[in-house]
Structure 1
Amino acid sequence: MKSNSTILFIIFFIGYNCYSQKYNGIDSLNSLTFDELQKQLIKNFKDPTKSTLYAKIILEKAKKKKDTAQILNGYSYLSIIHKGDSIVLSYADSIIKISKEIDNIRFLGIGFLNKGGYYFKKRKFNKSLDNFLHAKPYADSFPRLSYIVDHSMGILKNRLGEHQEALDIYKKSWAYVKKRNFKKTDNNNYLITIHSLASSYNKVGKYDSATFYNKLGIKEALRSKNELKYHHFLLSEGINNFSLKNYNAAYDSITKVVTNFSHKIDTPNLIVTYYYYGKILLKKEKIDSALISFKKVDSLFSSTGDIFPEARESYEFLIDHYKAKKDHKNQLKYIERLLKVDSVLNTNYKYLSRKIIREYDTPKLIQEKESAIFELEDKNIIIKNRLLLVSILLGLSIFVLTYYYRRQKTLKKRFNELINTLPKKNIKKEINNAESIGISKDIVDHILNRLEEFENNAEFLCSGITIHELSKRFETNSKYLSKIINTYKNKNFSLYINDLRISHSVEKLKSDKRFRKYTIEATAAEVGFNTTQAFSKAFYKKTGIYPSYFIKNLEKTYCD
């Protein structure tokens, strides 16, 4: 099935026997053990209000007892309950941070998996892929987590057109699902795995195998009364019949799916449903109905900002249709829309862009756009404007290419200077005429000695450090400290701290390959910055390049 696959979410709740017991009031809930709270959470899992309450009590109770394992459980339960909300990122980051502190690789895998699942749901596929890749080395030690990571990677590989690789992954997932008896213990993910197999077999042209798994999925979805999955398999088999040119059978299946999905929030599958519905209608020579179906693809894309590469063909039909009717206004409208689609596809599928270019590639679309405008406006004016536009675009292209070349050359030069520069030793500045700044020599000498210790011990890595806090530590006042830093360090306090942190991060990135594997966010936190923006800005201000560029080129340098 060439539609949306489902990212698997981690379920910790298998194996517990839920029992019926009523509790009244927060105090009585606080008196429960962690095991009792967890059982109640599982029992009420389908009620977000109740399950959130139990998860938060687990978390608060764990924090009071300083029980790290239960703190991680609390954050994990909240991540599952609120898997579609942006707060998942906060919960996942907490899981990752705590897991790193106690070296818990299982929960490190869970934290990155949760982030990957969230970003996939939000159609941020590059971030989703990054987090799944981060999760993999941790998840490989745990079969259940490894299964989820591999399945998720299969979904992204299908998105990128690597269908055979995705199929190989799903075969491995299917073996795991059967071995662990998911049919009884986790029926929903059992159906998801069957569906992924059927979809991938269709994409590699093994239609008999696709039909086998579609029928297996339909049978099991009916038995377990899973209506949504039943219609997913119905759509999958409809697409399979379309591939086999069984257009009447495909029409019967997808007509049922259109009726069902139009009443449900299942937009990604609805886009593909209308796309194939339109193609089938074209085969049945129902042009007007096909036109409506393809317009619905456009409407759904406009509302979600996401589209599957194959659905791009809907716009080619709309453009050709209105071009043939000499309706240049609508022709231009759908050319504009297709350019927007290509922009989205280029962003989300940049590694696959060569495979999604069809007859209406971007240069040709731009040419057609000009042609449609030509029909709508005065010919002489258009000719002049086109010449002017070509001149402007040519000049702009030359300017951009020149700027890009010079920019890359400058960045490379700055990188080489940075990587070849040895760390500066702490050279104490000669103290002459200390009294000229209104402070006695003894005090100046004392503060400079303390600053030297402060730098040598890397105390500047503590986040949130202030001049008032440091002056108390040095047994002086902030006015003296500020004036001495300005005079002897030639910078204000904020810049002084930031420069120390940046110099430290540069040396650590150069010498520690594990540190280079950190995310920018984790690197920033490691050297005392509260936000990645503040870290990147300070890094650029001191070095002339951004940390992401520095790390990327460091990796290339050491790999070479």
Structure 2
Amino acid sequence: MNSDKLYLNSKCEIARITTEYTIFETNNIQTNMKELFIYLFAFLSFLTTAQTDKNELSNKTYEELLAGFAKIENNFELQKKYANAYLLKAKKEKKDLRIAKGYYMMSNIHNFYDAIKYLDSVTIYAEKESNDKFPMVAYYERARKLDAKRDFKLAIENYIQAESWAKKNNDLDYIFRARLAIAIIKSEDMGEISEALELYRQCYKFYGKNKGKEVRYYNSYVSTIFAIADAHRALHQLDSSSYYNRLGYRELESTEFKNERLKGFFILNEGATQCLKGNYKSAIDSIDKALPIMIEYDEQMNQIASYYYYAKSFNGLNKVDKTVKYYEKVDSVYKKLKYITPEFVHGYHYLIKYYKNKGEKEKQLYYLNTLMSIDSVLQVNYKELTRKFKKEYDIPNLMQEKENIIEGLHQDKKSNHGIMIALGGIIMISLFLVMRQTQQKKAYKKRFEALMQTKEEGDNTKIEIETIEEIKDNDLGIVEETANNILKQLVAFEKKKQFLKPNITLNNIAQDFGTNPKYLSTIINTKKEKPFVRYINDLRIDYIVFELKSNEGMRKYTIKAIAEEAGFNNAEAFSSAFFKRTGIKPSYFIKKLIES
């Protein structure tokens, strides 16, 4: 296996750009102008009628049936009717060459195994007529179908047979078609790059001499240049690879036949070549230009190639994160495409080692499983490469490593069982706290709104003396005059905001009022329905709430400064009193005031 073999879909490109030599053209009579008019008439006739009745088809000429078959290339059921009609007509008239053509038509619209049988029949009936072109085409078509089924050995045998018949016919076109196809299999599918390169050079000379004759020859010429560049890169003959990459790109730039897709191949191949040279920044620049083309033309294998050489280049620049990123992109495209070549497997080896070092066993196991599944596919599709693949990637050791990882994961699950229970408990507690906090926020919001709805009458601590019910002798055991005098002094005390003075005590106020502390305490408890400390604190908090609502400047104060403004000795006592009075914290109240 050549670990640097870049798969740039040369096979698909050459098959796409080469106009196939149809069996309809391989008659022992040269096509002339008369036949051309017959085909044109048949084609126009087909456009004016959609009748596919069996009896009507049987009345059509061979040329009409051929034209009809060619026109409806996307309608297999209808094509079967035309092909059957052609074959039945040929058998009825016992025309072996026509029978061979009928079987060829059938081979084009049936599955692989039936198509092979029909192509076998083509060779049998062609040989009866001593026609050398039909076996050539039949063997070539058989080879193409076997190639598509990845039966490379049998495909090469059939290409060789096709070339042998082509030599009998002196058909250079088919000789080099067969050689080019064999070269592609040897280079892309069997890793025999040196043998393929010699065949590519032969094709390069042939198509170079004839590139001016037909567009398909020109396209085959440019595709062969690419194949040579790719082969040199795979053999690490990097200067030669760059030479042919530049040659192919210039050729495409200089011609009227634009092929952006193939141009993108040369750019990407040069990026891979620069990567192997160690010119990582140049490689990245080339891939930056090539990747959008690969995406535009849905070249998924070449997207894999782009991501792979991105990763190798970033690895060369010691950018681990980007290396991992692009190797993982290789895997993402592979998962969609369900196909990968041996060249791009190294990325999995890198990812396995990377996640092993990080201790991420599950990702390590994921990429290890993917690598082993790829190996099983490669053993089927790349039998010639299996031994070297096993040597490079040490599959038996990877299997043992897989078992170790699985065992380690089982142990981790056991040891983590208790942790998971604990985590579950923590999650439940966290959910409870979140729910509680949510409810608390709702309650805070309601309390804030209630505070904002209170009437702002200038001084919310004002008390009208007329509203205070007079105290009778038998109410509290205090002389009526003394009790009412204390009440009047409390009104004045509140109006003058004397409660804002720090270090107020019951004894201080009683002394100022000219009464005893017991009487003052009794009056406050009875008429204010709260103990002395709570009475003072509530007055202070009500004052501060009013000031904060009406004075934007105070909102900029610290909590400590506001506490001192209210007569509290410290911020903690103020915050506690504020919460008891309003149900919210002063910081929350100020924040909501600013927001609103």
- TM-score bracket, normalised by the shorter chain, equals 0.5 to 0.7
Q: Structure 1 286/345 Cα, relative in aligned 2: closer, same or farther at 3 Å?
A: same
Q: Is residue 2:249 matched to residue 1:218?
A: yes
Q: Name the CA distance, whole Å, in 2 between partners of 1:167 and 1:16.
A: 39
Matched with 2:145 is 118
Q: Name the CA distance, whole Å, in 1 between partners of 2:139 and 2:321.
A: 47
Q: Structure 1 119/64 Cα, relative in aligned 2: closer, same or farther at 3 Å?
A: same
Matched with 2:273 is 240
SS across alignment from 2:405 = helix
What stretches of structure 1 of length at least 5 have no aligned partner? 382-560
Deviation at 1:248, TM superposition (A): 2.4
Q: Is the 8 A contact 1:258 1:270 kept in 2?
A: yes
Deviation at 1:312, TM superposition (A): 1.1
Deviation at 1:32, TM superposition (A): 7.7
Matched with 2:197 is 167
Matched with 1:294 is 327
Matched with 2:182 is 153
Matched with 1:202 is 233
Deviation at 1:331, TM superposition (A): 0.8
Matched with 1:344 is 377
Q: Structure 1 207/88 Cα, relative in aligned 2: closer, same or farther at 3 Å?
A: farther
SS across alignment from 2:258 = coil
Matched with 2:173 is 144
Letter in 2 for 1:339: M
Q: Is the 8 A contact 2:122 2:135 kept in 1?
A: yes
Q: Is the 8 A contact 2:308 2:326 kept in 1?
A: yes
Larger Rg: 2
Q: Name the CA distance, whole Å, in 2 between partners of 1:208 and 1:246.
A: 13
Deviation at 1:165, TM superposition (A): 0.7
- Specify which of 309, 322, 346 is matched with residue 313 of structure 1: 346
Q: Name the CA distance, whole Å, in 2 between partners of 1:239 and 1:37.
A: 50
- Specify which of 329, 335, 350 is matched with residue 368 of structure 2: 335
Letter in 2 for 1:67: K
Report 1:382-421 matches (<5 A): none
Deviation at 1:318, TM superposition (A): 1.2
Give the RMSD, CA atoms, in angstroms.
3.9
Q: Is the 8 A contact 2:80 2:109 kept in 1?
A: no
Q: Structure 1 181/38 Cα, relative in aligned 2: closer, same or farther at 3 Å?
A: farther
Deviation at 1:376, TM superposition (A): 1.5
Matched with 1:11 is 20
Letter in 2 for 1:2: L
Matched with 1:128 is 155
Deviation at 1:189, TM superposition (A): 2.6
1:156-191: CA deviations, max 9, x gaps? 211222111100001111122123336634143333
Report 1:469-508 matches (<5 A): none
Matched with 1:534 is none
Q: Is the 8 A contact 1:174 1:194 kept in 2?
A: yes
Q: Structure 1 179/369 Cα, relative in aligned 2: closer, same or farther at 3 Å?
A: same
Query: Once structures 1 and 2 are overlaid, which stretch shifts more, 26-35 or 145-154?
Result: 26-35
Q: Is the 8 A contact 1:274 1:294 kept in 2?
A: yes
Deviation at 1:82, TM superposition (A): 5.9
Letter in 2 for 1:145: Y
Q: Is the 8 A contact 1:55 1:78 kept in 2?
A: no
TM-score by length of 1: 0.58
Matched with 2:356 is 323
Matched with 1:2 is 6
Q: Name the CA distance, whole Å, in 2 between partners of 1:244 and 1:48.
A: 47
SS across alignment from 2:307 = helix
Q: Name the CA distance, whole Å, in 1 between partners of 2:264 and 2:286.
A: 9
- Specify which of 57, 82, 100 is matched with residue 72 of structure 1: 100
Deviation at 1:338, TM superposition (A): 1.1
Q: Percent same amino acid among aligned pairs?
A: 29
Q: Name the CA distance, whole Å, in 2 between partners of 1:16 and 1:194.
A: 35
Letter in 2 for 1:149: A
Matched with 1:279 is 312
Deviation at 1:308, TM superposition (A): 1.4
Q: Is residue 2:381 matched to residue 1:376?
A: no
Letter in 1 for 2:147: F
Q: Name the CA distance, whole Å, in 2 between partners of 1:216 and 1:52.
A: 43
Q: Name the CA distance, whole Å, in 1 between partners of 2:102 and 2:252.
A: 32
Matched with 1:180 is 210
Query: Once structures 1 and 2 are overlaid, which stretch shifts more, 159-168 or 24-33?
Result: 24-33
Letter in 2 for 1:118: K
SS across alignment from 2:11 = coil
Deviation at 1:37, TM superposition (A): 7.0
Larger RCO, structures 1/2 (Cα 8 Å, 6+ apart): 2
1:356-402: CA deviations, max 9, x gaps? 345421122122213322421339x9xxxxxxxxxxxxxxxxxxxxx
Matched with 1:95 is 122
Deviation at 1:127, TM superposition (A): 4.7
Matched with 1:439 is none
What stretches of structure 2 of length at least 5 have no aligned partner? 26-30, 415-596
SS across alignment from 2:228 = helix
Deviation at 1:330, TM superposition (A): 1.3
1:443-492: CA deviations, max 9, x gaps? xxxxxxxxxxxxxxxxxxxxxxxxxxxxxxxxxxxxxxxxxxxxxxxxxx
TM-score by length of 2: 0.54
Q: Structure 1 376/93 Cα, relative in aligned 2: closer, same or farther at 3 Å?
A: same
Q: Is the 8 A contact 2:190 2:382 kept in 1?
A: yes
1:115-162: CA deviations, max 9, x gaps? 322233344445534543554543443432221221121112112221
